[in-house]
Amino acid sequence: MKYYEAIDENRLFEDYKDARILIVTDENVYRLHGDRFKTCEFLVLPSGEASKNFDSYTKIIDELSNLRMNRSDLLCALGGGVIGDLAGFAASTYMRGMEFVQIPTTLLAMVDSSLGGKTGINHQSSKNRVGTFYEASQVYRDPTFLNTLPKAEFSNGFAEIIKYAIGFDRSLGDLLDRVNLDSMNDMDLIMKIVEKCVEIKQTVVKQDEKDKGIRQLLNFGHTIGHAIESYYNYEGVSHGEAVAIGMAMKLKMAFDEKVISDEEYHTWIKRILKFGLPVKLVQNNDLCKILELVSFDKKATGKNIRWIEIQKIGELKVIENGMDVLMEKLNCKKDSFSVIIKPMKLKGNVSIPPSKSLSHRAIICAGLSEQVSVIGPLSDSADIQATLDAMMKFGAKIVHVKKDRLGAYYQICNEKIGVYYKTRKPVIHEPLTIECHESGSTLRFLIPFTILTSDAVTFTGEGRLVKRPLEPYYDLFDQNCMKYETSSGELPLTIHGNFGPGRYELPGNVSSQFITGLLMTLPLMNDDSEIHITTDLESGPYIDLTIETLKQFNIDIEHSSENVYHIPGNQSYRAVNLSLEGDYSQGAFWLVANSLGSEIDVTGLEPLSLQGDRVITEMIDVFDLEPHENSKREFDISQCPDLLPVLAVKAALTKGVTVFEKGERVRLKESDRIHAMAVELRKMGADIIETVDGLKIKGVDRLEGATVSSWNDHRIAMALAIAATYSKGQVCIEGADCVSKSYPEFWEDYKKVGGSIDVEPIWKTI
């Protein structure tokens, strides 16, 4: 391999004096660097993975033929991995092999794809389905190309570097910790990392040139990564991002199987996140469909598939087994399913599950009392379980008492909190990891509770929660000189230090959950505090719900003026037994079904509830007030964002035009609910337009049958189930298991009131 400070045509002509040279590149690289090779012949292809196909391959062969080039002439790949693989495949097959060199212009190509002789093009069934082994005679690594590399492409390259670190040389991790992705000025450090990676790959390839043995270890993260790229048709997810997700899955697998420690797992996840790479699929319900594509991977052997697992950090192993084993290891086969619904009206009785909003608040308040409270019924949902588990980490003792048809009842107290009330000093003296899963309430309510511990607290999440905004807390950390660690504002978040009493300013238009977190924590301080809301308050009813719940547990909050809350310090939570009312946000699905012709007796909803989503009854009345073709109705959903999915279904089937506005925050939920409902209802024949802050919907007489996606969002799945009652044909909802987040009994209740559904593992409904 040759290394030059600046490669140009003079260097090429010096090394290949008598050869004619054709350079294959893409549009971006040609625009930036084409003038280095002014007298060479060029073939410029469109940029991106989509060009790695038979058509592009044919263009290269045609150009070589038109130029009457022979085997001793030179084909040069100038670009990243796509161009290198494509040009290499052409060089290996033109006249059964011609001279070939690579000039990698990306970090990824320098450390990986330009080395080892793998060439190929993609087929619709999988990545690199057609290819050869054909080593370039020279690879010129010129670091000056990296000066024009976009940040996203640097991230792609670091995915491959992290692969080498996890699989072959853990000391690379220390070098990665020194890299600042926002200021790539230390090119000596970057090239030192490149050299280490090149050395690793050359050592491996030398032992196994044809990828029959040890070389397969270099596919760590790639088996799943290639399937992800193929599933998304090589659009929207880059190679580096796909490999990063594949590696993160294997890290989680190794952690679950106790191969690596908790510290090792979180250290490497943080390193992946540091370089702007994802560790989760945007839609978790896509996982099983993606894994189906693994069976098309070129490493498949008969009925089995080969994949790479971690033996320990710095050491990998090849596993060969059936697809069912891989699916089970990645928690796919057991849980993910689709439902196929035959359209029909619903009739029967539904007892609404307990309010999720009240449940979170009651668990936390009870977990801050020295005396025993009995709280119930609590739904067996993933979000509620996340808060129960988190409060136990903060010292709560939680004992299951009984269970009825609506949920479980628990005795909850905190024996450590008495010491805190006497001293107002931390009572936990060890690092904590709070696994919030996909629960935004668990995360945002509990971040301020680091006051209970003198050591670091790390909050982790899954799915969209990893990316949901936490900036209001970050601003408060900075104002209070608290040290915290995150990756570009995303989870995991590690906090060192505590809030103190004082004045806090928070925006009211991001999420009321930040305000609730402080309202529950500040009464524990040794002095008074104030919260000032700096913008119009959205989701105000949720704050009212918090204040009312706190009052029941002996905590006093003074709403001293419209946007100011005064919180006396030195307060103590006192136990109370609470029977939780039904959840209006869940009841809304059945109430809308009734408004579309179903006959469901909905019980458990408190008519005088403080829940903001109680407004659903009034909104349905607005829809049903003389609906006709010229009707126009407008709804501000800033105070009830969780109702948008089911209201969109109601609007799609009500004559006239409905406009939903002021719903910017709805895009920040478990999915972008505005976009998700627009996409899925459009599949069912709805007349729907997506706006910046909402939806504009013109009602139709009936929806069509279709296959739709839940977007791994419980409210999207349930809304589509109600839409299915008023469709002309059957509706298949992929990823229907996501209702377990808030309403695990939903599908049972749906069947109980006459819904006709078949449940299938998700990969059978692709």
Catalytic residue numbers?
642
Give me 525's structure tokens. 């301080």
Give me 678's structure tokens. 């627009």
Closest CA to 108 of 230, 310, 298, 243: 243
The residue type of 217 is L
Residues 6+ away with beta carbon under 8 Å from 541: 610, 611, 612, 639
Closest CA to 676 of 637, 620, 719: 719
Q: What are phi and psi of 305, to 5 degrees?
A: -130, 145
- Which residue pairs, CB below 8 angstroms and at least 24 apart, start in 295-302? 295/323, 296/125, 296/126, 296/129, 296/227, 296/230, 297/126, 297/223, 297/226, 297/227, 298/126, 298/128, 298/129, 299/216, 299/219, 299/223
Helix (H, G, I), strand (E, B) or coil at 683: helix
Which helix H or strand E contains 265, and what residues bound it? helix 262-274
Closest CA to 98 of 76, 119, 116: 76
Question: How far lies 470's CA from each of 181, 242, 475, 492, in Å?
Answer: 21, 25, 9, 11
Pairing of strands 657-661, 632-636: parallel
The residue type of 665 is R
Exposed/middle/buried for residue 632 (C-beta within 10 Å: 0-12, 13-18, 19+): exposed
Alpha helices in 43-179 (DSSP H): 54-66, 81-93, 107-108, 151-167, 172-177
CA 100/CA 98 separation, integer angstroms: 6
Which residues partner with 397 through β-bridges? Answer: 413
Neighbour count for residue 421 (Cβ, 10 Å): 16
Tokens 């209802």 found at: 681
Closest CA to 761 of 738, 735, 731, 743: 735
CA 152/CA 158 separation, integer angstroms: 10
Pairing of strands 578-579, 373-378: parallel
CA 607/CA 609 separation, integer angstroms: 6
CA 366/CA 576 separation, integer angstroms: 8
Question: How far lies 77's CA from each of 11, 114, 628, 636, in Å?
Answer: 15, 9, 64, 55
Tokens 């829940």 found at: 611
Please give, one letter per residue, the 3-state secondary structure of 270-326.
HHHHHCCCCCCCCCHHHHHHHHHHHCCCCCCECCEEEEEEEEECCEEEEEEEEHHHH
Exposed/middle/buried for residue 177 (C-beta within 10 Å: 0-12, 13-18, 19+): exposed
Q: Compute the residue count for the chain.
A: 766
Helix (H, G, I), strand (E, B) or coil at 60: helix
Closest CA to 591 of 616, 560, 615, 613: 616
